Amino acid sequence: MLPLLQRPDQHLRFTHANSITESSSSAPSHRLLRLLPRRSRHAHPFALSTKCAAGSSSDASVEEDDAEKDLSMRHQSAELGYRRPPKQIEEIVDVPPNPSYIISPRRDRIMFLKRRAMPPLSDLAKPENVLSGIRIDPGSNMRSRMSFYTGITVHMLMDNGTLGPAKEVHGYADGAKINFVTWSPDGQHMAFTVRYEDKVDSSVNLSLWVANAESGEARPLCISENIRLNAIFELFVWVNDSTVLVCTIPSSRGNPPKKPLVPFGPRIRSNEHKNVVQMRATKEMLKDLHEEQLFDYYATSQLILVSMDGQVKPIAPPAIYTALDPSPNEKYLMLTSVHRPYSSIVSYERFPKKVELWTVDGTFIREVCDLPLAEDIPITSGSVRKGKRLIRWRPDMPSTLYWVEAQDGGDANVNVSPRDIVYMERADPLNDEKPQVLLELDLRYRRTSWCNGSHALVYEHWYKTRRTRTWVISPDCKDVSPQVLFERSSEDAYSNPGSPIMCRTPAGTFVIAKIKTKYEGTYILLKGQGATPKGSIPFLDLLNINTGVKERIWESSKEKYYESVLALMSYNPKCEIQLNQLKLLVSKESRREPAQYYIKIWPDKNQVQITNYSHPHPQLALLQKEVIRYQRKDGVKLTATLYLPPGYNPSEDGPLPCLIWSYPGEFKSREAAGQVRRSPNKFARISSNFPLLWLARGFAVLADPTIPIIGEGDQEANDRYIEQLVASAEAAVNEIVRRGVAHPNRIAVGGHSYGAFMTANLLAHAPHLFCCGIARSGAYNRTLTPFGFQKEVRTLWEATDTYIKMSPVMSANKIEKPILLIHGEDDSKVTTAMQSSQFYDALKGNGVPCRLVILPFERHHYAARESVMHVIWETDRWLEMFCASSSRNIQVMESTVDTARSPACEALAVSFTKIYSLVRLSVS
């Protein structure tokens, strides 16, 4: 006989070693199971269920009274301060992330960077200046709210693929915050910044450090007190193995300009010349002359060259430098800066921009371009800035520039051929030689991947038709004509050929690795995700550029593991790699095993494991995951990932409350919309903003069900947004109900940003499907975004009916089910907090059960631990009241094991199944 639950606010605990199994001799003895009670159908919304599998009516009566008191207090306290979620969720969220890694240029070392968990709210509450699309921390003269690393370790990579002993980078004091970590071109040193906060005056000490890769010993590089770093834009870059170009605060800079008590004058915006300027809404632009002065004050830098021995040399005059690009031969510097006149409607990225060439010793060479203010770029997808754009150094040449220029004035609405032209010229052109035309394109240029002069891959794309082309060109052979290597729909995941494997040159640039085989021709490697109808199977193909013929030389396991290629670990100064000496860094994971890194070595393809990360949430190590396929009523095939709690059996245990979490996508074809773009073998890592947390509360979770909004041919997808949205949601709900895993009356829907917009529309137009909704950081009134949103490029005046029909605020009177609205107070995107506030007012004015939570200091995504925990608490409370309540009690397992792969895990699953059969909480 199982013991009764004594109090509703206490967890029911059973000890394996004592009396929970039918046969005590077979019971494991390694921890506890915890069963959390759920709420009753006949109790009021805040009451817990009073029925257990065994027990007297008097016990149940006491339990019900205590339950009502407990939940009544919980409801009253919901308005007070920051709250924390249940312990079993909090423990999952607080797991620190695994380290990041950076591979040395010569592929002989790997640097691991320790990361912290979520920052405290006090970090977000620090003063900041919001200027021209960026947020500045005035105390450190860097971007505000920057994350940081807490430590660095370096390992040698041995010839057999194993890692040598860890070398801890040391020399700085405890508590340092580390940023901007980079290898020197030769891989012998690392440069990074260290910052400390003065607890007395809240000032920040930001300094540039360098560490020896062999010993790990670190020291400050700029030791003069007169040198202060400016990290608003690019802070520093290695010019060569022993010299760094650094942005610093001009020594002549005084105190920041003070805002006058009396304004300079009225704010005036004028369009007397009838220009057509269409901008998507934002609130971080410069507002007045004072903010222009602040932008100048914080963003202006003096460039200095700092050598490893501490010598300092100023370079170029002070300016607002946004990019620093040394040439591969270490002779030239390409400096990009912005200047006045500024704008109050666009960010700094569209300010007048100047690109200049200087020698490393400080001699001005020439001006590459000086582009005017670009306020008038059309909102149509594919529109770009006029003039030279994407100016880069060729990574395979000493000092050659390339760039692209639009031939349609940057306006995607203009039909012209060619649309873009790619040019190239040397940094120091001789005898007034003209730039060379590399390629003329009829679509919009995307990027170029270079391959040591002999070949290059040029990519172009056109969003409206989803066409994409990959060209093969021979930039240094004028008698070789460009050839189309691939042409396909960018939506067609099944035909995606992958991207080239890149190799690091001695200059620190990246080019396509040439693969030497026993066959003639030029070969490269393509790595891809390998989308297939049965799930993603990452691959590695050997491609003959001359013929276009491909050979698959490796692909991931199909049965249990998901493996993917991360980087090339072979090194050759000429970037020519022998196929039988190929060495790759790969990751490998399964549904229940977290991703680990391996070195895979040819020709035998042996692999050596180099990390051994523990399971981040062992209490859910045995969760159940399945990629499911189903179909909506118009025949479009859909995909979702279904997660179920550990030990759950639908045939024995009945349907669960379910949370559906998604984000709609737009497509041009039904075929592309129906393709599978996920793998059943990927590890289910649970993050603080993902719905899998509620597996720990006994929910089924349907994650990312595809919600395709399709506009075939000349049709616009959003003209049938509501119909397709509802049809996709109906198909998802019908499938999980058909499978018996979800209770049809206990299905909640939620999403973030455009997913929140989806949630509100579903509650308005498909109220029969869901019991409640959670909408985070959404925009609910599309008339407040009149110049387009998401992939919609028509204006409000061009598609008035669509804007109004898609706006949930216009259908607030149709919503009946409870909806929880959450928003960051400092959200600067088109999804401003005002959107949620106005939607809440509309809902409340129509008597809809709703709740609005505004998070102080938070932006579009939530960062502070207090905020994240409170959002989880709010969501859990909402789901408990309106989804988990009114259904039968759900049993939830919380087990603690040392590792996800320990034998105890399997025993735990067997034991939990037995407990399910013994402890059956009845349907009220």
Residue 211: phi and psi, rounded to 5, are -125, 145
- How far apart are the C-alpha atoms of 846 and 676, rounded to whole Å? 41
Residue from 288, 669, 860, 924 carrying the catalytic annotation? 860
Does residue 194 belong to any structural domain of this protein?
Answer: yes
User: pLDDT tens for residues 790-837?
Assistant: 888 899 999 999 999 999 999 999 999 999 999 999 998 888 999 999
Residue 277 has pLDDT above 70, yes or no: yes
Tell whether 531 is covered by a domain: yes
- Over 70: is that where the pLDDT of 35 sits? no
Confidence of residue 677 (pLDDT cuts 50, 70, 90): very high
Query: pLDDT tens across 387-401, in order?
Result: 999 999 999 999 999
753 is a catalytic site residue? yes
Say yes or no: 315 and 202 in one domain. yes
Q: Is 361 a catalytic residue?
A: no
Q: Strands 243-248 and 301-307: what pairing?
A: antiparallel
* Mean predicted confidence (pLDDT) in 655-673: 96
328 pLDDT above the threshold of 80: yes
- 273: pLDDT confidence band, cut at 50, 70 and 90? confident
605 versus 25: which is more confidently predicted?
605
**By the 8 A CB rule, do 717 and 710 touch?**
yes
CA angle 27, 32, 33 (to 5 degrees): 90
Clarify whether residues 511 and 655 are in a common domain: no
> What confidence category does residue 664 fall into, taking pLDDT thresholds of 50, 70 and 90?
very high
DSSP characters for 732-773?
Answer: HHHHHHHTT-EEEEEEEEEEETHHHHHHHHHHHH-TTT-SEE
Q: Is residue 426 part of a domain?
A: no
H or E segment at 910? Answer: helix 903-918
User: Does 664 share its domain with 600?
Assistant: no
Task: Give the pLDDT of residue 231.
Answer: 96
- Which residue is it, tokens 């000493």? 398
Domain boundary, last residue among 613, 632, 657: 613
What local confidence, expressed as pLDDT, does residue 204 receive?
Answer: 77
The answer to whether residue 68 scores a pLDDT higher than 70 is no
Q: Are residues 540 and 661 in the same domain?
A: no
Whether 642 and 565 map to the same domain: the answer is: no
- Rounded Cα distance between 514 and 523, Å, is 6
- Together in a domain, 584 and 665: no
| From 753, 886, 895, 911, the catalytic residue | 753
In a domain, 508, yes or no: yes
Q: In this structure, are 691 and 580 located in the same domain?
A: no
Query: With bands split at pLDDT 50, 70 and 90, how would you rate the model's confidence at 76?
Result: low
Given a cut of 80, whether residue 39 has pLDDT beyond it is: no
DSSP E strand boundaries for 216-349 = 218-220, 236-240, 243-248, 301-307, 312-326, 332-338
- Is the pTM higher than 0.75? The answer reads yes
Q: What is the pLDDT of residue 69?
A: 53
Question: Is residue 898 flagged as an active site residue?
Answer: no
pLDDT the model gives residue 7 = 28
Residue 714 shares a structural domain with residue 752: yes
Q: H or E segment at 205? A: strand 204-212
Angle between helices 721-738 and 754-765 (to 10 degrees): 80
Structure tokens given for 13: 């605990």
Backbone angles phi, psi at 87, to 5 degrees: -55, -40
pLDDT score recorded for residue 917:
35
What is the count of structural domains for the chain?
3
CATH number at residue 870: 3.40.50.1820
Q: Which of 54-68, 328-342, 451-465 holds the top average pLDDT?
A: 328-342
170 has pLDDT over 50: yes
Residue 57 pLDDT more than 60?
Answer: no
Which of 278, 304, 324 is the C-terminal boundary of a domain?
Answer: 324
What integer pLDDT is reported at residue 208 of this predicted model? 95
- Is 215 a domain residue? yes
Q: What is the pLDDT of residues 742-756, one digit of tens each?
A: 999 999 999 999 999
Q: What is the CATH number of the domain that holds 122?
A: 2.40.128
In total, the chain counts a number of residues equal to 924
Helix (H, G, I), strand (E, B) or coil at 879: helix
Question: Residue 69 carries which DSSP code?
Answer: H
Separation of alpha carbons 559 and 572, rounded Å: 35
Residues 850-882 have pLDDT tens digits of 999 999 999 999 999 999 999 999 999 999 999
Query: What number is the average pLDDT over the span 203-221?
Result: 92
**Where does residue 910 rank: exposed (0-12), middle (13-18), buried (19+ CB within 10 A)?**
middle
H/E run at residue 730: helix 721-738
Contact status, residue 573 vs residue 328, Cβ threshold 8 Å? no
Residue 281: pLDDT band (50, 70, 90) is low
Half-sphere exposure of residue 710: CA atoms within 13 angstroms, side-chain side: 21
Domain of 126 in residue numbering reads as 99-256+288-324
- What are the angstrom distances between the C-alpha of 862 and each of 534, 765, 777, 827, 871? 35, 29, 10, 10, 9
Say if residue 18's pLDDT is above 70: no
Residues 502 and 633 in one domain: no
Phi and psi at 869, nearest 5°, equal: -65, -40
Q: Which pLDDT band holds residue 690 (cuts at 50, 70, 90)?
A: confident
Span 576-599, mean pLDDT?
Answer: 96
Residues 590 and 682 grouped into a single domain: no
Catalytic residue among 137, 827, 867, 911: 827
Work out the percent of the chain whose per-residue pLDDT is above 70. 86
Which of 575, 598, 613 is where one domain is finished?
613
Per the domain annotation, does 788 fall within a domain? yes
Least confident of 123-127, 272-276, 790-794, 799-803: 272-276
Measured distance CA(339)–CA(319) in Å, rounded: 8
pLDDT score at 21: 28
Tell me if 302 is assigned to some domain: yes
CA 708 to chain centre: 21
Average pLDDT on 64-84 reads: 62
852 within a domain of the structure (yes/no)? yes
Query: DSSP assignment of 122-176, as one string?
Result: HHHTS--EEETTEEEETTTTEETT---EEEEEEEEB-TTS-B---EE-BSSPTT-
Residue 364 dihedral angles phi and psi, to the nearest 5°:
-75, 135
The region of weakest confidence among 62-71, 322-331, 741-750 is 62-71
Structure confidence at residue 448 as a pLDDT band (50, 70, 90): very high
Least confident range from 77-81, 154-158, 274-278: namely 77-81
Same domain? For 579 and 650 the reply is no
Same domain, 628 and 584: no
